[in-house]
Structure formats: C-alpha cells, structure tokens
Amino acid sequence: MDRDPKHLQEMLLRSAHHKGTSFLEIYQNCNIFNDGTFEIYTDKKTKPEETIFMVHGEPLIFGEQKNKGIRLNGLKPEVVELNENISANDLWIHDEKDFYKAQILTRIFDDPKSSEHHFPRPFGVFYETERPCYEDILSKQIDESRSKSVADLDRLLRGREVWTIKEENL
C-alpha cells in the first residue's frame, strides 16, 4: 500500500533484490479515479481487522489485539478467534516457498462489505522461488559450446561438403 511506507519499502527492496522476475502489486490511491478505494486497508480504525501482513515462518494473525487468525481446515482456510482452545500454534504458518499454499492465499480476496465473516486482505510475499534465469542459462550454453571445440572457418570453406548445380535444373 502506498500509505504504508515501511512495508512498501521492504517489498520494493525484496522485489529489486530477487534474481529474475518479480511481480509487485501496489495499492495506490488516486484522487481522481479511485479516491478512497483502499481506505479500508489503510485507515487506522479498520486496518488491523481488514489486513494481514504475511511473514515467512510466522502464523497468519490479525486483529486489533492480534486475537484472530487463519488456519487450514484440510485445504480450506478459515478465520478463527484465538482463545483457550485455539492458539497461535494451531494457525497456518506462512511459507513463501510453498507453491500450493500460495495459490490458496491468492484467492483470499473477499469484499469486506460482502459479509461480516470475510477474510482479511493478505499483504506481503505470497511465493518466492529460486530458478535459473534466461541470461544465466544462455551464458552457460555459450561457455559450454566454446569449451568443446574451436571453429575453423578455413577448414570449413575448403572441406568436401560442396553442392553441384547442374544447368538442366536452372
């Protein structure tokens, strides 16, 4: 969110330092076209209940007193109240390396106005993976082919592979 500079800076730095492609979505207020659209996620009164900031290795906890969380019931996420029966240990622990849980998180985009029991909007890194980049693979291929043999243009031009063109085919 453009109105949360500390988190925005952290996400911009992570995106910039990630080798390869990064996709960063920034909720930015526009006074002309969408003024106040994201206010529910930025207003101090509603932000704790409507947002969840995902941190790798930590449970998905939110709320004014950090008294709510998200847990998985099989593969279905559900909002729960923390109490004597449900603790932070029972909640979903965010793992940026888990592709399948990231897919579930990307679908948690309930409209806050649609129902009382909606999910908070997740913010942070959904998924991160290390893979070779195109430039790295290309450089490796070039280095490997250069190390295997040295091309000899003179030998190629004076070789026996020639074409003969007969006049009858012209």
- For residue range 79-121, what is the model confidence (pLDDT) as tens digits? 999 999 999 999 999 999 999 999 999 988 777 777 777 899 9
d(CA 85, CA 66): 16
d(CA 48, CA 44): 7
Asked if residue 169 has pLDDT above 60, the reply is no
* pLDDT for 156: 75
* Mean pLDDT comparison of 32-36, 52-56, 152-156, 158-162, highest-scoring range: 52-56
24-80: pLDDT as tens digits? 999 998 888 888 889 989 999 999 999 999 999 999 999 999 999 999 999 899 999
* pLDDT for 144: 87
Q: How far is CA 96 from CA 65, 72, 90, 105, 159, in A?
A: 25, 16, 18, 11, 57
Asked if residue 146 has pLDDT above 70, the reply is yes
* pLDDT for 154: 81
* pLDDT for 170: 58
* pLDDT for 4: 92
Could you give the residue ranges of the DSSP H alpha helices within the chain?
5-17, 39-42, 47-50, 99-106, 134-148, 153-157
* pLDDT for 164: 74
Higher-scoring residue by pLDDT: 129, 170: 129
Domain spans of the chain?
5-123
> What is the share, in percent, of the chain residues with pLDDT greater than 70?
97
* pLDDT for 37: 86
